[in-house]
Amino acid sequence: MTKKLFIKTYGCQMNVYDSARMADVLAPLGFRPVDAPEGADFIILNTCHIREKAAEKVYSELGRLHQLKKNRERNGDSLLIAVAGCVAQAEGTEIMRRAPFVDIVFGPQTYHRLPEMVARAARANGKGSRRRVLDTEFPVEPKFDFLPQAAAPQGPSAYLSVQEGCDKFCTFCVVPYTRGPEYSRPAADVLDEARRMVASGALEIVLLGQNVNAYHGAAPGRPGGEWGLGRLIRELAEIGGLRRIRYTTSHPKDMDADLIGAHGEVEKLMPYLHLPVQSGSDKVLAAMNRRYGGDDYRRIADRLREAREDIALATDFIVGFPGETDADFEATLRLADDIGFTQAYAFKFSPRPGTPAALMEGQVEDSMKASRLKILQDLLAARQLAYNVASVGAMMEVLFDRPGKRPGQLAGRSPYMQAVHVDPPHSGGDDAPARAGRADGPDAITGVIGSIARVRIVEAHGNSLKGALQGGAGPARIAAQAGPDQRICA
Ligand code: SAH
Ligand code: SF4
Ligand code: F3S
């Protein structure tokens, strides 16, 4: 009998990958994923602990699920509820105490054991005798060895975890505690999984790791040998049918020469890199335990641009770290301005329980964090808009992987990771794809989802581009091709 499984995912791409793998693990038990919690037999919240707000969301969602479970039980039905991911890892016992209606709590490293956990919880559930399960170990055996090979297809752009955990212990960050020590999967396993993904329709593979460029997986057929991420990418690029490779998230300290070189040499490696800098102040970076300074970061950016002149750099910043002065914040603004990020996320420092920075002296007032955040975000948004505007007129290959927001629209990503949409045919405007030579009706346009199509950029917004489908294919570099017919929609 099929049972309905609803997984709600919070946090980073690794959690998205993990949720897909949880569904794979549960498929042999008859669970089929559904899009809404109503009517589900099993609900998993796959949670994130990175900032206080992220963690808070879990408890409010649990309140709603409790209600759902009570309604079910009133009708004589049962509902299993599980909390997974980084909040589960960090606050497992607390969840068990605060939310007694939760049946299972498990961490990011134990989800291969889900069938046993479900069997244990389900045996008791609905019969009055509740048996609850808490599994937040860091097992010695890596979960990857126990996950099923038959994974459900993820679509044209697929996530593939290659590295997990972190040994860097930045003083603000919970990840080393929630994900555990750094681990790299053997290269042969990664290559096998990548081939299976391509065989089931993936055109793009996004390699994932909390420190993905610290990857050092066992080399195939060479006992004791290791491959770094640069080598892994070069080998993945040999897979026929795979068109694009990306990786995220990287640490500046681990950008080695081979990986930087790969950006210049591997055509399938997309010209985009998310490389979190966190701050432009050497003093703050040292207090964060980042182990590089602002100028080290500038040099890495220069080397990346020497390897691939059109590479788009994206980043993360934290404002209001303990001890951050006006001068430190100005150094951050200078760095942001110098590098010219094409996308960036800025966060207010959130003191996380158990991390050294939460206890540091010189905690910054929330009002100061808020005003610095606004100043930085305005600068970042202006640079992002200017970059997008410079794309107008360019021809780009866009991987269309989903319908757009409006009916009939298509949405995808440029090589530079910009969101690009094209309007349905006959929607008015000179750029309607029906007149652009490639597509000539609604069927033609839906057929574009799951493919890489050539697009002329016709309009720039702060967070996205509008394109018109074109015939033909081939690489395009934006800076050289920005046209005069630019339209700005901030
Ligand atoms: N491994 C990546 C970052 C992973 S966490 C790296 O080394 O850079 C994702 C982002 O969340 C971080 O880049 C950081 O900007 C932000 N972040 C992490 N902990 C935070 C905290 N305590 N407060 C605010 N932002 C935080
Ligand atoms: Fe967190 Fe990244 Fe630092 Fe690791 S390197 S502790 S994941 S911010
Ligand atoms: Fe959040 Fe855990 Fe990812 S804390 S960002 S879900 S590694």
Q: Is residue 187 over pLDDT 90?
A: yes
Instruction: Give percent of the chain with pLDDT exceeding 90.
Output: 81
The whole-number average pLDDT for the span 227-255 is 98
303, 400: one domain: no
**Which ligand 1 atom is nearest residue 351's CA?**
22
**What range does the domain containing 441 cover?**
395-486
Pocket flag, ligand 2, residue 270 (CB < 6 Å): no
Does 46 sit in the ligand 1 pocket, CB within 6 Å? no
CB 404 near ligand 3, within 6 Å: no
Q: In whole angstroms, give the CA distance from residue 396 to residue 312.
A: 14
Of the residues 364, 390, 416, the one at which a domain ends? 390
160 and 288 part of one domain:
yes
Average pLDDT, rounded, for the chain: 90
Neighbours of 301 (CB within 10 A): 23
CA-to-CA separations, 405 to 257, 339, 422, in angstroms, rounded: 41, 32, 10
Confidence of residue 426 (pLDDT cuts 50, 70, 90): low
- Say whether both 324 and 179 belong to one domain: yes
CATH number for the domain that contains residue 443? 2.40.50
8 Å CB contact between 195 and 237: no
Instruction: Measure 164 CA to ligand 3 centroid, in angstroms.
Output: 11
Instruction: Looking at the structure, tell me whether residues 363 and 256 fall in a common domain.
Output: yes
Nearest atom in ligand 3 to the alpha carbon of residue 47 is 6
Whole-number pLDDT of residue 475: 40
Residues 212 and 305 in one domain: yes
**Contact yes or no for 156/202 (Cβ under 8 A):** yes
* Interval between CA 205 and ligand 2 midpoint (Å): 23
Rounded to the nearest angstrom, the distance between the alpha carbon of 50 and the centre of ligand 2 is: 10
CATH number, domain with residue 79: 3.40.50.12160
119 and 147: one domain?
A: no
Residue finishing a domain among 341, 372, 390? 390
Residue 148 has pLDDT above 60, yes or no: yes
Closest Cα to atom 4 of ligand 1: 210
Determine whether the shortest distance from the Cβ of 179 to ligand 3 is under 6 A: yes
Whether 212 lines ligand 3, by a CB cut-off of 6 Å, is: no
Q: What is the number of structural domains in the chain?
A: 3
Are 379 and 406 members of one domain?
A: no
CATH code where residue 165 lies: 3.80.30.20
**What is the 13 CA–ligand 3 centroid distance (Å)?**
8
| Closest Cα to atom 1 of ligand 2 | 173
Q: Ligand 1 mean position to 98 CA, how many Å?
A: 27
Ligand 3 centre distance from Cα of residue 173 (Å): 10
Same domain (yes/no): 207, 105: no
Ligand 2, pocket-test mutation among 13, 86, 164, 170, most atoms within 8 A of CB: 170
- The mean pLDDT value for 444-469 works out to 90
pLDDT digits (tens, 9 = 90+) for 314-333: 999 999 999 999 999 999 99
CA 439 to chain centre: 31
- Residue owning the nearest CA to atom 1 of ligand 1: 210
* 399 and 385 assigned to the same domain: no
Give me ligand 2 centre to Cα 175, in Å: 6
Instruction: Say what angle helices 257-265 and 229-236 make with each other, to 10 degrees.
Output: 20
- Whether the per-residue pLDDT at 153 is higher than 90: the answer is no
Structure-block tokens of residue 390: 């410079």
Ramachandran class of 428: left when φ > 0, alpha when ψ lies in -120 to 50, beta otherwise: left
The answer to whether residues 375 and 235 belong to one domain is yes
Task: Please tell me whether residues 110 and 193 are part of one structural domain.
Answer: no
Same domain? 120 vs 154: no
State in Å: Cα 292 to ligand 2 middle: 13
CA pair distance 398, 404, nearest whole angstrom: 13
- For 128, left (φ over 0), alpha (ψ -120 to 50), or beta? left
Residue 76 CB neighbours (<10 A): 7
Range scoring the smallest mean pLDDT among 149-158, 293-302, 414-423: 149-158
Location of structure tokens 């860091």: 138
Question: Quick one: DSSP state of residue 219?
Answer: P
Single residue among 135, 156, 190 that ends a domain in this structure: 135
The per-residue pLDDT for range 113-137, each reduced to its tens digit, is 999 999 988 775 555 556 799 999 9
